[in-house]
Chain A
């Protein structure tokens, strides 16, 4: 088990570098020059070349990526070409708000969707089930960039209950979390419902009931635990959607996270910042898949015994 975790962590290193190299190559291939952003319009090509040389942008792409990777190995993520600040500073400043938003959204989704999914399964075919399925359909269909402004219009502009945007207090996180978690919650409700329904008709549930176990134990100890593998799989696979959702939600609500930092950096062709953000995103992605696997081990003894007996 420990060897497996170590092996997975060691995989992080080549994977991260592969992601960084590929993404660095891609952003360099996008037409546009960071020197135009740094220097503006009133400067000659000769002077632009001077700036290019001093920033090392005149070197080959391969050389630039190699230089960047060397820096990363030594803990140096470089400096923003535009702002002149260290990338590590920028990332650490923005990581916490993004983490707050993402964790809150996942927490909110799980807390809301799993009970609703279970209730929906138990009430299958009844009005409550119909309402749950309907609202989850709306949640999946509604894009964040539309839902966000609608919520602001209603709760902030008309009712005046919550601030429109910014990260100024607990009240300011409410609307971004609802927006970000809407599609995740919708998917989770459906998956929980379907899996729960499936498990409810399984032999072991019938056996548990015939043994005289309480309904609570049947539902939450046995049925929910057996459904959780599928729920976890969906939760993990939605991680990518969550990251892209964070980028849009941050923009709508002026939430000062990594998403805004990265979109700004792409527009400004600020290569070191884009690479830094991508490194963080790919690292969290890999961490997510590792944690999911570990949770599989914990939840399902068959996986544990199959692999490590």
Chain B
């Protein structure tokens, strides 16, 4: 009876629960402006609210949305034809001029610079050919430019302005518009009511505490929590009758990286020995309850560019010891426990990563390497890694699309401050292949290039790839047909179906 009363004048209209999909995030999205969205939550939100030239499907493969066709005229010119049926929330059609203004924004010298600007450094100009056709002209061949076209389109009137901070001013062309944005929830409303769909409203609650998120699910106050519960909680989900756990491989690759400026680690045999000394299966079973699978490269096995000929690096302690002997680091033998050498691993304060770090130290100890673990606050960790003052570190790559990630991570030209080659790895042949792959349009030619890239990386081991973590979703029994996206996007929410006999509402609970 009290549930609909408001405190302190905070009255918000409650949509019917039968048509509302409720989920929880741990943090508020950082921005309402799709051109500034770099945190996952802002991206997911922008995806539901804005249309874009293309979107990624559940497997992370690009597919056209606003664009009806995208074709490369040459490796530096992309021609895009728009679907003329899209409209903004003010009723105006989405035209090539809107698209042009939305992307020219990234070329401007802004007072409030957007971090996504660097994605468009190769864009030189945009030419409008007709109301529904335009061309992107690039300064250099860059085929994965199309992967950047998932950013939401704004009408020209907004796109030429500065950063948007007020949700009420947003004019969007996606399926939903932002109805309400408060400090503890965001409510989206379907722009055009569709009687064939069960979900007319999406309510995103901001719930910082993971125990509270689980309690809300158990209490039927939420329909979904994605990737925001810990593994101990997930292991107990089967005990709650109204909840189900769904999983799928995620675009998330955990790795162990080496600093090539270090005299010990620059030796290939040492890196190989470390790779052979890690029992990934055991660690995955213990740390992730088996909800991860071994990684052989950054790309997922389902990626079209994944090299299926890569041989997994198996756990072989004796081989690791032999490699270390061959590298000139024999066991000292005077005292039995005296290590061959000492290394230092820097890691964050993330509990999972810390458990892994100590497990790794234990594994390496078995082959005679003394590994010291240093756990740092994220800011300090990041700055140490960027400045190359970490011998070894573990981190992950999340949400990457396309094989050009290898150039950003391993090319000599990507050594900081220009990229993420933080280990200062340098390989002439690899650099050549990565440059070639960047401008190759033909898929099979491109595939051959990236097959070689993956082979070289597995041979040279600038990283030891550890595992791909799974995306997991805990969902209420009233929801049917929810499909998990490999990058965590929430684009299947608009199409889910509610199981009408499974009642779920806090109001019902209060009436007991």
Chain A interfacial positions (CB closer than 8 Å to B): 30-33, 36, 38-48, 50-51, 54, 82-85, 93-94, 96-97, 100, 149, 152-153, 156-157, 160-173, 251-256, 260-261, 263-264, 268-269
Closest residue of A by beta carbon distance from B215: A164
B31: Cβ under 8 A from any A Cβ: yes
Are A254's CB and B184's CB within 8 A? yes
A177 to B111, CA, bound (A): 44
Are A152's CB and B212's CB within 8 A? yes
Are B7's CB and A172's CB within 8 A? yes
Known contacts A254-B184, A256-B184; is A160 also within 8 Å of B205 by CB? no
A269 to B115, CA, bound (A): 17
Are A256's CB and B221's CB within 8 A? no
Q: Looking at the assembled complex, report how far the CB atom of A106 sits from the nearest CB atom of chain B, in whole angstroms.
A: 16
Known contacts A41-B420, A44-B418, A51-B113; is A254 also within 8 Å of B510 by CB? no
Are B383's CB and A43's CB within 8 A? no
**In the complex, what residues of A have CB within 8 A of residue B506's CB?**
163
One of B268-276, B374-382, B482-490 at the interface: B374-382
What 4 pairs between A and B have smallest CB-CB spacing?
A: A32-B379, A45-B417, A31-B380, A256-B183
Known contacts A31-B383, A44-B417, A51-B115; is A169 also within 8 Å of B183 by CB? no
A97 to B183, CA, bound (A): 10
Q: Looking at the assembled complex, report how far the CB atom of B186 sits from the nearest CB atom of chain A, in whole angstroms.
A: 12
**In the complex, what residues of B have CB within 8 A of residue A156's CB?**
215, 219
Are B382's CB and A171's CB within 8 A? no
Known contacts A40-B115, A83-B165, A161-B510; is A173 also within 8 Å of B7 by CB? yes
Are B119's CB and A260's CB within 8 A? no
Within 8 A of A (CB), among B484-512: 506, 509-510, 512
B196: Cβ under 8 A from any A Cβ: no
A-B contact sample (12 more), CB < 8 A, given A160-B509, A252-B211: A32-B378, A40-B39, A42-B119, A45-B418, A84-B33, A84-B165, A160-B219, A163-B219, A166-B185, A167-B10, A169-B3, A171-B2
Q: Looking at the assembled complex, report how far the CB atom of B176 sits from the nearest CB atom of chain A, in whole angstroms.
A: 21
Are A39's CB and B115's CB within 8 A? yes
Q: Looking at the assembled complex, report how far the CB atom of B56 sits from the nearest CB atom of chain A, in whole angstroms.
A: 16
**In the complex, what residues of B have CB within 8 A of residue A261's CB?**
183
Are B5's CB and A169's CB within 8 A? yes
Q: Looking at the assembled complex, report how far the CB atom of B106 sits from the nearest CB atom of chain A, in whole angstroms.
A: 12
B439: Cβ under 8 A from any A Cβ: no
Known contacts A165-B212, A166-B184, A264-B27; is A269 also within 8 Å of B379 by CB? yes
Closest residue of B by beta carbon distance from A31: B380
Are B221's CB and A163's CB within 8 A? yes
Q: Looking at the assembled complex, report how far the CB atom of B39 sits from the nearest CB atom of chain A, in whole angstroms.
A: 7
A78 to B189, CA, bound (A): 32
Closest residue of B by beta carbon distance from A35: B115
**In the complex, what residues of B have CB within 8 A of residue A40's CB?**
38-39, 115
Are B3's CB and A168's CB within 8 A? yes
Closest residue of B by beta carbon distance from A54: B113
Are B380's CB and A169's CB within 8 A? no
Are A149's CB and B211's CB within 8 A? yes
A263 to B417, CA, bound (A): 30
Are A252's CB and B209's CB within 8 A? yes
A166 to B22, CA, bound (A): 13
Chain B CB count within 10 A is highest, among A84, A161, A167, A168, for A168
Partner of B31, one of A44, A83, A93, A172: A83
Are B383's CB and A33's CB within 8 A? yes
Within 8 A of A (CB), among B1-54: 2-8, 10, 27-28, 30-31, 33, 36, 38-39
**In the complex, what residues of A have CB within 8 A of residue B221's CB?**
163-165
**In the complex, what residues of A have CB within 8 A of residue B165's CB?**
83-85
B408: Cβ under 8 A from any A Cβ: yes
Closest residue of B by beta carbon distance from A49: B417
A293 to B408, CA, bound (A): 63
**In the complex, what residues of A have CB within 8 A of residue B389's CB?**
none
Closest residue of A by beta carbon distance from B119: A42
A157 to B219, CA, bound (A): 5
B182: Cβ under 8 A from any A Cβ: yes
B281: Cβ under 8 A from any A Cβ: no
A39 to B31, CA, bound (A): 12
A93 to B215, CA, bound (A): 27
Q: Looking at the assembled complex, report how far the CB atom of A96 sits from the nearest CB atom of chain B, in whole angstroms.
A: 5
A33 to B2, CA, bound (A): 44
Partner of A96, one of B8, B205, B207, B386: B8
A100 to B510, CA, bound (A): 23
Known contacts A45-B417, A171-B3; is A164 also within 8 Å of B383 by CB? no
Q: Mark B81-104, 1 if CB is under 8 A from A, else 0.
A: 000000000000000000000000
Are A31's CB and B209's CB within 8 A? no
Partner of A254, one of B7, B33, B208: B208
Are B118's CB and A160's CB within 8 A? no
**In the complex, what residues of B have CB within 8 A of residue A36's CB?**
379, 382
**In the complex, what residues of A have CB within 8 A of residue B185's CB?**
166
Q: Looking at the assembled complex, report how far the CB atom of A92 sits from the nearest CB atom of chain B, in whole angstroms.
A: 11
**In the complex, what residues of A have CB within 8 A of residue B39's CB?**
40
Q: Looking at the assembled complex, report how far the CB atom of A306 sits from the nearest CB atom of chain B, in whole angstroms.
A: 41
Closest residue of A by beta carbon distance from B384: A31
Are B183's CB and A83's CB within 8 A? no
A88 to B211, CA, bound (A): 31
Are A84's CB and B31's CB within 8 A? yes
A289 to B30, CA, bound (A): 36
Are A100's CB and B183's CB within 8 A? no
Known contacts A33-B379, A36-B382, A264-B28; is A169 also within 8 Å of B7 by CB? yes
Q: Looking at the assembled complex, report how far the CB atom of B175 sits from the nearest CB atom of chain A, in whole angstroms.
A: 25
**In the complex, what residues of B have CB within 8 A of residue A153's CB?**
215
A32 to B378, CA, bound (A): 7
A33 to B381, CA, bound (A): 11
Q: Looking at the assembled complex, report how far the CB atom of B328 sits from the nearest CB atom of chain A, in whole angstroms.
A: 36
Q: Looking at the assembled complex, report how far the CB atom of A105 sits from the nearest CB atom of chain B, in whole angstroms.
A: 14
Are A149's CB and B212's CB within 8 A? yes
A252 to B382, CA, bound (A): 29
Closest residue of A by beta carbon distance from B1: A171
**In the complex, what residues of A have CB within 8 A of residue B36's CB?**
84
A165 to B208, CA, bound (A): 10
A43 to B418, CA, bound (A): 8
